[in-house]
Amino acid sequence: MRRRLYFMLPDVPSARAMLDELLLARIEISHMRFMARDGLPSDMPDVSFLQKTDLVHGAQLGVVIGAIVGLGAGVFLTLFPVDGMTLRTAAILLVALGGAIFGGWASGMNAAAVPNTRLKQFTPRIEQGQVLLMVDVPVRRVEEIEEMIAKRHPEISFGGMEPPMLAFP
């Protein structure tokens, strides 16, 4: 399992230096993302569309709500069938599945236009020219990485951490 750590870096050169130090600490570049107001150098990993928007959270919420509504509609159609139709129990599951798929799609499309709510707290500082670093580290190395960054760069502020992430959520 990994844990995502957030750090606010003063500018792009310090972000570049932090990238090099994390690589020397054996953190893979695929587990680091930077977000800045202006463009970053091409050799620094930028945040992806999924990390900039609330698409994933919106789709997850849509799947749950769609499945609940679909389940309710399936039960309703089974208890009160349309004249001439007989619905079986499998129809309840199919309607619930259809509701989950439609809910996930519709909610995900809406959430794609919304900025990521987890990053909202960092937006004012990013607009001032600071750079956000998101790094996913193994749970057993969280303290080691935090101490390394605090010791070498006292000017860098720790932005917080997310709960542990599973490899396959």
Q: Does the pLDDT of residue 153 top 60, yes or no? A: yes
**Looking at residue 65, what is its pLDDT?**
94
Domains of the chain are: 2-47+117-161 (3.30.70), 55-111 (no CATH)
Euclidean distance between CA atoms 135 and 3, whole angstroms: 8
Tell me the pLDDT tens digit for each residue of 5-50. Answer: 888 888 888 888 888 888 888 988 888 889 888 778 788 888 878 7
Instruction: State the chain's mean pLDDT as an integer.
Output: 83
Mean pLDDT calculated for residue range 78-93:
77
3-state SS record for the chain: CEEEEEEEECCHHHHHHHHHHHHHCCCCHHHEEEEECCCCCCCCCECCHHHHECHHHHHHHHHHHHHHHHHHHHHHHHHCCCCCCCCCHHHHHHHHHHHHHHHHHHHHHHHCCCECHHHHHHHHHHHCCCEEEEEEEEHHHHHHHHHHHHHHCCCCEEEEECCCECCCC
**Looking at residue 101, what is its pLDDT?**
94
